[in-house]
Structure 1
Amino acid sequence: MERRDLEVFLTLAEELHFSRTAERLRVSQARVSQTVKRLERRIGAPLFERTSRRVALTPIGQRLRDDLAPAYRQIVAGVARAVAAARGTGGLRVGFQAPAVADLVADVIDRFRADHPGEVLIREADFADPLALLRADEVDALVALFPVDEPDLTTGPVLWREPLVLAVAANHPFAKLDSVSLEDLARAPVFRAAFWLDRTPGGLPVRAARSPATFQELLTAIAADEGVCPLGAHAAEHFARPRVAFLPFRDAPALRWGLVWRTSAETARVREFAAAAR
């Protein structure tokens, strides 16, 4: 049974008048009559008693109405919720893989807010598994370090580019240098944050340090000289502390922060946010 057939039957069951039903549904009266006849042939029994003076439900028609009406209301409500989600008529939830990146792309957020009503909710992603927020449907989009190559995710525009720096303890031998090379990552334990290499460009293995649970724990471990960590250059400004030094790389490519979202959960609002970043 088609949804339109259900709509005609339930509306006629409510109005008990062919002309008013046709007017309410914006179809012809003949269309209403044809639909009812088709349903009655399918059911195998009359659903309405029709005379020149009145229209009334038969007992079978009453039972069908009582059975179908709650389910139909659920269908209508479900479709309405899906349409609202697709249009993104509510707020937009944006996650950030690094805690200070929200400040770096504040102009994108401001442009989006200026043209689109609704709240922009900002969430910090889990340090150990930043994509978990997306996959748990706790954010609509995530600003993550590119490249992101996941079969269930769509990558959007790049929002921010910045140099790579190496965070080391202030008393580490590297701290006396003006700059470092990616080859230097083979000379100390390396914490894995957003950026990671298994081997240096020259083929030397990179030894992983322990895995901190939070970014603040990472900085504390670096200050204690447990290892070094490549980070975006914004960390030197946003997380400066006396016991941590930030050294520029001579040979590292720029980091790219971009927008990522679940392909199956793409909405108009996500697309509009991506467009604001271009």
Structure 2
Amino acid sequence: MERHEIEAFLTLAEELHFRRTSERLGLAQGRVSQTIKKLEHRLGVPLFERTSRHVALTPAGRQLREDLIPVRRQLQRAVDRAVAMGRGITGVLRVGYSSPMVAEILLKAAGTFRTRYPDCEVEIQEVQLSDPFGPIRTGQVHLQVSEHPVNEPDLVLGPHVLSQRRVLMVPAGHPLARRAAVSLEDLAESTLLPVAGAVPRHWLDHHYPRQTPRGRSIPHGQASSYWTELLNLVGVGQGVSPACEDAERYYSRPDIAWVPFSDAPPVEYGFLWPRAGETARIRAFVDTVHEMEHVERVQKI
């Protein structure tokens, strides 16, 4: 059997409808019917029962379907592997992340990516907020997903990946912990705990501002190099710090309350990679994540 015959037969076996099969294959309906008839003639057995309103597999057709499904998968893997090698999608792709929510997305995508491109291994690793761009500039990672804003001339800001509502972590006994929501103006009445390290000023100003929208001064406290340090400082009452909403799923603890902002922009995450380091591996992985996100959005509708 030729590959176009396998595709025509298996697609019709799934759809059991000639018009839908022709639409999926991008062929004329008559062409699909002719292909199936020629296949049945060569095999000497009917594969489908046909009426004006009904298409069904015969016992021989059902058996052929079960036998051909693994054949199609093997053919597709062979084609994908040849295409991947031709495009340079081989070797190792190291992908960094800065939050556990992003890690979930990347790990799922890595599984799909490995199936599509078996000659390319994907390694997922964490990037510390205290040095958000160091690993990608030194080649420790080739691609990463990080919080916006990113305004670095040597880095390309790729597609958006995730958006999260911004919340404020406050000590459990703090007056704001009893509120249903807080505003950016409330930061003037608290001590804001930022992150430390090789963090760009524009990024710090966005997430840890020095002034409220009305121009009131926001006091800053001790900076932290690691997320666990920041949690401990908030927990013992040293101050407050912004976070994204789903972070509570991973870092919930009794001494910290998570209060949503009523007026702050969401926390946005997106891909980035070195301007001089874009590769076929990077493009293929970014496309894989984008496709998976699209499928998940459609499934939720």
CA RMSD of aligned residues (A): 1.9
Q: What is the match of residue 123 of structure 1?
A: 125
Whole-angstrom distance in 2 between the partners of 1:94 and 1:158: 15
Q: What is the match of residue 134 of structure 2?
A: 132
- TM-aligned CA distance change 1:272 to 1:223, over 3 Å: same
Q: Structure 2 length as normaliser, TM-score?
A: 0.60
Q: What is the match of residue 252 of structure 2?
A: 240
Which residue type is aligned with residue 156 of structure 1? G
1:204 aligns with 2:216: yes
**Between the two proteins, what is the percent identity of the paired residues?**
36
Conserved in 2, the CA contact under 8 Å of 1:134 and 1:140? yes
Q: Where in structure 2 are the equivalents of 1:165-176 lying within 5 Å? A: 165-176=167-178
Whole-angstrom distance in 1 between the partners of 2:256 and 2:183: 18
The offset of 1:92, in angstroms, is 1.1
Which of these two proteins has the greater Rg computed from alpha carbons? 1
The offset of 1:106, in angstroms, is 4.0
Q: Where in structure 2 are the equivalents of 1:36-185 lying within 5 Å? A: 87-117=88-118, 118-185=120-187
Conserved in 2, the CA contact under 8 Å of 1:165 and 1:249? yes
Name which of structure 1's ranges 192-201 and 252-261 shifts more when overlaid on structure 2: 192-201
Name which of structure 1's ranges 124-133 and 148-157 shifts more when overlaid on structure 2: 124-133
Aligned length: 194
SS in 2 for 1:119: strand
Which residue type is aligned with residue 170 of structure 2? V
The offset of 1:270, in angstroms, is 0.8
The offset of 1:207, in angstroms, is 2.1
Which residue type is aligned with residue 223 of structure 1? G
The offset of 1:131, in angstroms, is 0.9
Conserved in 1, the CA contact under 8 Å of 2:148 and 2:268? yes
- What do residues 184-220 of structure 1 show as CA deviations (whole Å, max 9, x unaligned)? 1111111225723232222222222211121111101
Whole-angstrom distance in 1 between the partners of 2:179 and 2:105: 28
Q: What is the match of residue 76 of structure 1?
A: none
Q: What is the match of residue 191 of structure 1?
A: 193
Conserved in 2, the CA contact under 8 Å of 1:165 and 1:246? yes
SS in 1 for 2:160: strand
Gaps of 5+ in 1: 1-83
Could you list the structure 1 runs, at least 4 aligned residues long, displaced by more than 3 angstroms after superposition: 104-111
1:269 aligns with 2:270: no
Q: Structure 1 length as normaliser, TM-score?
A: 0.65
- TM-aligned CA distance change 1:87 to 1:186, over 3 Å: farther
Conserved in 2, the CA contact under 8 Å of 1:126 and 1:132? no
- What do residues 94-115 of structure 1 show as CA deviations (whole Å, max 9, x unaligned)? 1112244202444433443332
